[in-house]
Structure 1
C-alpha cells in the first residue's frame, strides 16, 4: 500500500472516534491553589464533571501528609453537587497546618457520591486528579 493511503487510513481512523472516546467521562479534580491563611492553609479545588450524570453530593476522604512525608490527618472534603458538563471551585481551610508544611494530599476513597436519582453514581471510576500547586495530589 502506498504511504499516502496508509496515512489517509490512519487519519480516517483517528477522526472516527466517538464523542465518548474523544472526551474522557468522569470527574476531574485539580488542586488549583494553596494559600496561607491566619489559621492554616486554604486549599482551592476545581472540580469538573466531564461527562457523567449530574451529582448532588460528592465527598472525598483525603489523607494529608506533612513536609516530611508523614501522615498528619484525614479530611473528608465535601464538594457538594455538580451538574453534568459543569465545573466548580471550592475552598477548604486546613486549620493548624501551614501550606509549606504539607507535601501531598492523597484521595483515599470517594466517601459520598449521589446522583439526582436515587441510584448512587460511580464517581470512583474515571476520577482524575492533578495539582497546579506546590502540593501534590494523588488518587
Structure 2
C-alpha cells in the first residue's frame, strides 16, 4: 500500500511539473485560437516568458497574410507585461477581417522589448512560435 501511495505522489508531481513553463533564454508564443466575431477576427495568443526575469513590455511588428500568401495587414501587437514562467493570454480583434481569410501570421520583429537587465533583443532571440489553428505562425 505504501509503495502505491509513493507511486501516486511521484506521478502527480511529474504531471504537475509538466504544466510549468520551462525557464530558458526564450519567449514562447502560441496562436491558440482564431474566433470570428461581429467586429472581426479575434486572435488569442498564449505567451510564456521563459527568461529568468519579467519582461515589462513587449510589442511586436506583425504581418498578416491571406490564404493566397499576400500581405493583408501590417500591425503592432502589444503583448504588455510578461512575468517570468507564467502563462499569459492576449487577444486582438482585427476589424473587418474574416478568420477564414488568414493564412499566416509573421512576427516580423520586436518594436520594443523592455526588461530591467535583459537585452533589447530578448523578445526575438530564441523566440519559439506555434499554432493550434489552421493559421501558420512564423518568425
Do the aligned partners of 1:30 and 1:45 also contact (CA within 8 Å) in 2?
Answer: yes
5+ residue gaps in structure 2? 1-21
Which residue pairs with 2:91 in the alignment? 91
User: 2: CA distance between counterparts of 1:39 and 1:110?
Assistant: 27
2-side partners of 1:88 and 1:48: how far apart?
Answer: 7
Note if contact 2:59-2:113 (Cα within 8 Å) is conserved in structure 1: yes
Flag structure 1 segments of 5+ consecutive residues without an equivalent. Answer: 1-21
Assess if the C-alpha contact under 8 Å between 1:24 and 1:51 holds in 2. yes
4+ residue segments displaced more than 3 Å = 116-121
**If the length of structure 1 is used for normalisation, what is the TM-score?**
0.78
Q: In the aligned structure 2, how far is the partner of 1:81 from the partner of 1:103?
A: 28
1:23 deviates by 5.5
Structure 1: distance between partners of 2:118 and 2:106: 29
State the aligned residue count.
Answer: 118
What RMSD, in angstroms, separates the aligned Cα atoms of the two structures? 1.9
CA distance in 2, matches of 1:97, 1:69: 15
2:105 matched residue in structure 1: 105
Residues 108, 119 of structure 1: alpha-carbon distance in 2 compared, 3 angstrom cutoff? closer
Q: Distance in 1 between matches of 2:104 and 2:26?
A: 23
Q: Residue 123 of structure 2: SS of its match in structure 1?
A: coil
Cα shift at 1:75: 1.3
Matches within 5 A, 1:1-139: 24-116=24-116, 120=120, 122-139=122-139
In structure 2, what is the Cα distance between the partners aligned to 1:128 and 1:118?
A: 17
Between stretches 111-120 and 39-48, larger displacement belongs to: 111-120
Q: Which has the larger radius of gyration?
A: 1
